[in-house]
Amino acid sequence: MAQVRDDVLSIVRGENVVTEETPVGAAPSGPEIEPWLREILRCPRCRSTLADGSGPSGPELHCTNAECRLAYRIDEGIPVLLVDESRSLAD
Q: Tell me, what CATH number does 59's domain have?
A: 2.20.25.10
- In a domain, residue 71? The reply is yes
- In a domain, residue 77? The reply is yes
Query: What is the pTM for the complete model shown?
Result: 0.63
What number of other Cβ atoms are within 10 A of residue 61's Cβ? 25
Q: How many domains does the chain have?
A: 1
17 or 51: which carries more pLDDT confidence? 51
Question: What proportion of the chain, given as a percentage, has pLDDT over 90?
Answer: 46
The pLDDT of residue 48 is above 70 = yes
Q: Is residue 73 within 8 Å of 80, Cβ to Cβ?
A: yes
What would the mean pLDDT of 2-9 be, rounded to a whole number?
78
Q: What is the SS3 string spanning 22-61?
A: CCCCCCCCCCCCCHHHHHHCECCCCCCEEEEEEECCEEEE
At 46 the pLDDT is 97
d(CA 10, CA 53): 24
Reported confidence tier of residue 15, pLDDT bands at 50, 70, 90: low
